A and B are shown apart, each in its own frame.
Chain A
Amino acid sequence: MTTVVEAPAAAVGSRVVMIGLVGGAVAVFVSANGMVEAFSERELLDGLTLGAVLLLSIPLLVGYVAGRRQPELEGFATRPPGWRNPATGLLAGFISGVTIGAFVLLIATVDLRGVLLNVTPELVRDDPRILTFGLEPGAGAGLLVGLFAVLGGLAGAIQVLPDLWRRAVLAAVGWVLAFGLMQAVVSQVLRGLQQQLRIWTEPLADFLYDTSGALSIAGITVVAVLGFCLQLLGSRKPRALVNARLERLTDRSRRIVRVAVLAAALLLLGLLPQVLGSFLSEVLNIAGIFLLMALGLNIVVGFAGLLDLGYVAFFAVGAYTTALLTSPQSSLGVGWIFWLAVPFVVLAAAVAGLLVGTPVLRMRGDYLAIVTLGFGEIARLLFLSDWLKPTFGGAQGIIQVGDITVGPVGVRTPQAFFYVIFVFVLLAAYATYALQDSRIGRAWMAMREDESVAEAMGVDIVTAKLSAFIVGAVLAGFGGALFATKIGSVFPHSFNVIVSITVLVVIIVGGMASVPGVVLGTMVLVGLPELLREFEEYRFLIYGALLIFMMLRRPEGFIPSKRRAEELHEEEIAQDEWLKTQDTGSRPEPGSRPEPGSRPEPS
């Protein structure tokens, strides 16, 4: 017999109401700040605009979260999934729906434009009545309540499914959304593949997307089925299989496999810009420049623990050095080739690193952050100043920055530029790995932990700090040099604090001190916004929301370094260990364990 110890009904109820209200608030927020309207320009899925998808994804999320099975606790039995999951989902969706419905009625009767600029008449009052899908406010509010409740219930019902199937459904939804959002990329890749490799892929693009660029019904079906099946088949078994195979190989053949994989990856990356075409290559290039900076800042913040908020200064120094030396229009007027300028970029960035690093040697934590923030602004203001206008051109900046040349050939297309950036990024990634395991890497780590004890172990704090600043500055300097030659001109306003913040957010969200994490962070936070121009206006709103979410749910970042993951989940790990020891021991009340069937599979 199983004793079912349940949370009191009132607690369950208030949790559902809470989730529903939060969902409602988010729905009102995205409607009132203009996101829904701005996004309704674009048709995402056949007949559904991006704005509608955004709005309707809220009850799905709300229902999914509210309908979630109670977490397994020692001594508590998990209730087997049943009608309660969709019911709680439906209730939460309904509450969200009532909230947004009330908002619809409110803005239909009261003009809020004086306060909320983005609450336009087009939302509810005049055609096309975006929020109410074209209906009159009253009917529209009712429709929203109904839709939200139904979608919430549906999402809650997903929780009834066994784990494997639930994940497959989620994967299908995720794939559809991703393919819809990434229409430009997908169709470009399919087209590019046909052009480059003469594979028959272009008609596939026409099949998936209709003329307006929305995922067609057929496309939705195919993508969903694909996502569903791949998740069903691919959940970790092949990976385990591959790993097991690798285990069995000898060291030598394992190395051969590794080299082959690396070669294949390089080949693919080599083909990538050709397949992607010039626009997408341009996006990759922008991301690549930020990646270079992020790898640099990762050394300063992630390894050495020095929170530098003025990192953009080094980026600017690299850019201006390149501009001065390669532009015939600059005050120096020497018009060198790019590669000749590179050693000077290194030198200038290193000097800048010393200049910023030296005065802050004795500062730690918050103080360091504030002072470096100031340095970043000082750098920008110096480049802008009248005082240095003869050298740096003030607000007019420096134009006609020289192109990169390889032999006699100029690197002009984004596709060609990709290779140059790729080489620099590879260099930075290699440097990161090499430094991580080096003596100085150890010294940085120890210094980050406890400066004065590290000193007593013989670590020269001055050298360690300055070298971290210099390595970071040089990488940012490279980023600046590439930026200047890519754009062809430098202006002070390109080097504001937002650049520093973006780079910092990239490494926090991606995963501090982890190269794959930094790469992913750059792609998501820098690459994606370039692709999804609709989001441009809301970029920092989304950054902020993402940061909050990450800090609450996954403070170690998307792909954390192993070390940080362990640190941040120390208690959970300790708890698991403890539970393991409890499992092997005798239990006072075997009946209080959940039934084996209701225990979710470990994820």
Chain B
Amino acid sequence: MTDPQPLLSLRGVSTHYGAIQVLRDIDLEIHAGEVVCLLGGNASGKTTMLKTILGYVVPTRGEVLLDGRRITGLPTQRLVGLGVSMVPENRRLFKRMTVRENLEMGCYLRNDSEEVAKDFERVFALFPRVRQRFGQRAGTLSGGEQQMVAMARALMARPKVLLMDEPSMGLAPVLVEQNFEIIREINEQGTTVFVVEQNATMALSIADRGYVLQTGRIVLSGTAESLLSDQRMRTAYLGEL
């Protein structure tokens, strides 16, 4: 990539849980306007990478940069204000609150009520179902609807970069496909997206670039096409022999 300054980058990041090293010397770059995916099996360190970016855990070495600014060690609640939003694994909606209240939590820090109103319209256009369920408690929605609300909630912060943790988890195959189409649409509207996924085929079908994580180390990276055609990739993740 020739772009001088990535939107979000990790430089030499290592993260430990106590004595156990989970991430080893990670270098990763996400440029504005891209969809980047992070692939990897169970326990490869995918979620920890997100947690490190979001400040839930502090890396033992290396740094995380947002727009060239060092955000390593910043408290989590500061990041949404800087333009980093997350769709957590398993949605994790505020189940006892209404859809409306969930979305309002998404723009908790924003004061620009006119712009917020526009963003409500924007997410309604993306997810018509969210409008239908607006007054309903989030816990009563179906899994697919919850995923939509989780994405809508994250978008309400009007993020520069959207982090998504396993958006396909627990969804029916039809819904997974829909889901990824919406992710692509979100990206086309100008939001940079970083998707962490196990479903490599699906993720690579919409991504510009991808990284493959194995036991805490990036073992493979490149454009989506190059990864899709990579022999190691095909055997390990795409289920071909």
Contact = CB atoms under 8 A, between A and B. Distances in A.
Interface in A137-182: none
B101 A456 contact: no
B77 A459 contact: yes
A446 B81 CA distance: 17
B108 A458 contact: yes
Contact of B105 (A454, A563, A570): A454
Given A457-B157, A458-B108, A460-B77, A452 B140 contact: no
Interface residues on B, range: 20 to 34
B76 A442 contact: no
Contact of B96 (A453, A456, A460, A567): A567
B213 interface: no
Given A454-B105, A456-B80, A570 B140 contact: yes
B77 A455 contact: yes
Given A449-B94, A455-B76, A570 B139 contact: yes
A11 interface: no
A445 B101 contact: yes
B17 to A, nearest CB: 16
A1 interface: no
Nearest to B51: A452
A453 B95 contact: no
A117 interface: no
Contact of B88 (A456, A461, A567, A570): A456
Interface in B98-121: 101, 104-106, 108-109
B137 interface: yes
B56 A457 contact: no
Contact of A445 (B54, B78, B97): B97
Contacts of A60: none
Chain A interface extent, by class: 20 to 34
Nearest to B80: A458
Contacts of B95: 449
Given A442-B105, A442-B108, A566-B137, A457 B80 contact: yes
A583 interface: no
Given A445-B97, A445-B101, A457 B106 contact: yes
| Most chain B CB atoms below 10 A, which of A453, A458, A460, A567 | A458
B96 A563 contact: yes
B86 A456 contact: yes
Contacts of B202: none
A442 B96 CA distance: 12
B92 interface: yes
A449 B78 CA distance: 20
A443 interface: yes
B108 to A, nearest CB: 5
A245 B141 CA distance: 36
A247 interface: no
B150 to A, nearest CB: 9
Interface string A423-455: 000000000000000010011011001101111
A574 interface: yes
B79 interface: yes
B97 A449 contact: yes
Contact of B97 (A439, A446, A570): A446
A469 B34 CA distance: 44
Contact of A442 (B75, B92, B104, B140): B104
Among A442, A455, A570, the one with the most B-chain Cβ atoms within 10 Å of its Cβ is A455
Nearest to B102: A446
Given A442-B104, A445-B97, A458 B77 contact: yes
Contacts of A446: 94, 97, 105, 108
A453 B88 contact: yes
A461 B77 contact: yes
Nearest to A461: B77
Given A563-B96, A567-B96, A456 B108 contact: no
B96 A449 contact: yes
B212 to A, nearest CB: 26
Most buried by A among B54, B75, B78, B108: B108
Nearest to B94: A449
B101 to A, nearest CB: 7
A456 B164 CA distance: 13
A446 to B, nearest CB: 5
B139 A456 contact: no
Contacts of B97: 445-446, 449
A453 B137 contact: no
A459 B96 CA distance: 17
Contacts of A459: 77, 105, 108
B84 to A, nearest CB: 9
Interface of A: 439, 442-443, 445-446, 449-450, 452-461, 563, 566-567, 570, 574
Given A449-B97, A455-B56, A459-B105, 4 more contacts: A449-B94, A449-B95, A454-B94, A457-B80
Interface of B: 54, 56, 75-81, 85-86, 88, 92, 94-97, 101, 104-106, 108-109, 137, 139-140, 153, 157
* A-B interface, 3 closest residue pairs, ranked by CB to CB distance from nearest: A449-B94, A458-B109, A458-B80
30 contacts: A442-B105, A445-B96, A446-B97, A446-B105, A449-B96, A449-B97, A450-B94, A452-B76, A453-B88, A453-B92, A453-B94, A454-B94, A454-B105, A455-B56, A456-B54, A456-B76, A456-B77, A456-B85, A457-B80, A457-B108, A457-B109, A457-B153, A458-B81, A458-B108, A458-B109, A566-B137, A567-B96, A567-B137, A567-B139, A574-B140
